[in-house]
């Protein structure tokens, strides 16, 4: 049974379905992908984005489901509000498998990636339809509609997002000014996973982490343990990654980095 990523195509290989499937395979899982959009981009910038039609997105999903039921789902860039609605219907049909949703709104270079879907639409579509959400600081600020610049603000935003969606929220803290800290609010308590900073301005680390989180969640069945393992694995992968292209770096998970779960 494969893990399935539903996201965009980054021809540089540093984000989207290419990095997700690479992570899945590095953990020993079969990998499959459903494309939401194609992009013209490199390691520095998204130059153009073309969303695929929602009907074609639905056809891709149905074709995969005719083969076998996925063991887990990871959602990244939707590309359009119509695609987001289609993804929501898929997530609602699969409450029996882990579902990691990375609510991507903009690229690091500022390109809109969500088809201008409103916060209200995103919250409605995701409500009760995921195992965990993994926004970064800017995405958490948008979903919670409040500033998110510090660890304490991350915790408050994660609690607000849980209240609005009914879904545990892990805020990725790689953009914090000091040491990065991932923060999980599971609906009852807050968990923090600090790491030492290795480098700044890296391309694709959000996708890398969220894909690893799905792998760890499928393996362990425990969200807190999965978050801790995925944070540590991502840190090791970044340290060992070979850089390609221009800054920021592309970060394919190297074979030397093995999951420790």
- Give the C-alpha distances (Å, rounded to integers) separating 210 from 23, 147, 253: 10, 22, 13
Phi, psi of 128, deg, nearest 5: 70, 10
Structure token pair of residue 41: 């981009």
Choose between 128 and 46: higher pLDDT: 128
Mean pLDDT of the 110-138 span: 84
Whole-number Å distance between alpha carbons of 116 and 90: 21
Mean pLDDT of the 91-113 span: 81
Residue that has been written with the tokens 């959400």 in this structure = 133
pLDDT computed for residue 12 by the predictor: 80
Mean pLDDT of the 108-112 span: 56
Residue that has been written with the tokens 């890296």 in this structure = 202
Residue 245: pLDDT band (50, 70, 90) is: low
Is the model's pLDDT at 85 over the cut of 70?
yes
Neighbour count for residue 112 (Cβ, 10 Å): 13
Phi-psi region of 217 (alpha: psi -120 to 50; beta: other; left: phi over 0): alpha
Whole-number Å distance between alpha carbons of 18 and 34: 11
Mean pLDDT of the 134-155 span: 95
pLDDT computed for residue 256 by the predictor: 46
Residue 111: pLDDT band (50, 70, 90) is: low
Half-sphere exposure of 165 (CA within 13 A, CB side): 32
pLDDT computed for residue 205 by the predictor: 82
Q: Can you list the domains of the chain with their CATH numbers?
A: 3-240 (3.40.1190.20)
Is the model's pLDDT at 246 over the cut of 80?
no
pLDDT computed for residue 45 by the predictor: 81
Helix (H) or strand (E) holding 119: helix 119-126
pLDDT computed for residue 243 by the predictor: 60
Q: What is the pLDDT of residues 164-182, one digit of tens each?
A: 999 999 999 877 877 889 9
Give percent above pLDDT 90 in the chain.
66
Least confident of 57-71, 73-87, 110-124, 209-223: 110-124
Mean pLDDT of the 240-244 span: 63
* Exposure string for 176-206, b = 16+ CB within 10 A, e = fewer: beeebbbbbbbeeeebebebeeeeeebbbbb
Whole-number Å distance between alpha carbons of 143 and 226: 23
Structure token pair of residue 29: 């899982």
- Give the C-alpha distances (Å, rounded to integers) separating 60 from 4, 5, 11, 57: 11, 12, 20, 5
Query: With 0-12 CB in 10 A as exposed, 13-18 as middle and 19+ as buried, what is 100?
Result: buried
Q: What is the pLDDT of residues 200-227, one digit of tens each?
A: 556 668 889 999 999 999 999 999 999 9
Whole-number Å distance between alpha carbons of 139 and 123: 12
Whole-number Å distance between alpha carbons of 183 and 174: 11
pLDDT computed for residue 89 by the predictor: 95
Give percent above pLDDT 70 in the chain.
85
């Amino acid at each position: 049974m494969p893990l399935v990523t539903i996201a965009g195509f980054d021809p540089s290989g540093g984000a989207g379905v290419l990095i997700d499937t690479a992570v899945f395979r590095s953990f020993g899982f079969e990998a499959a992908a459903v494309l939401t959009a194609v992009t013209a981009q490199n390691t520095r910038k998204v130059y153009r984005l073309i969303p695929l039609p929602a009907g074609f997105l639905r056809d891709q999903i149905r074709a995969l489901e005719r083969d076998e039921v996925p063991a887990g789902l990871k959602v990244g860039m939707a590309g359009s509000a119509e695609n987001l609605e289609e993804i929501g219907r898929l997530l609602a049909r699969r409450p029996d498998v882990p579902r990691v949703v990375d609510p991507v709104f903009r690229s690091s270079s500022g390109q809109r990636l969500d088809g201008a879907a409103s916060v209200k639409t995103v919250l409605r579509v995701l409500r009760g339809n995921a195992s965990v959400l993994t926004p970064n600081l800017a995405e958490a600020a948008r979903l919670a509609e409040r500033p998110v610049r510090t660890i304490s603000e991350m915790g408050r935003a994660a609690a607000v997002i849980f209240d609005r969606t009914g879904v545990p929220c892990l805020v990725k803290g790689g953009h914090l000014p000091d040491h990065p800290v991932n923060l999980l609010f599971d609906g009852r308590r807050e968990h923090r996973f600090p790491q030492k900073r290795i480098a700044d301005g890296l391309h694709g680390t959000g996708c890398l982490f969220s894909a690893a989180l799905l792998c760890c969640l499928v393996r362990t069945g425990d969200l807190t343990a999965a978050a801790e393992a995925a944070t540590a694995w991502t840190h090791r992968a970044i340290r060992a990654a070979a850089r390609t292209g221009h800054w920021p770096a592309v970060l394919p998970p190297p074979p030397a980095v093995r999951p420790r779960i």
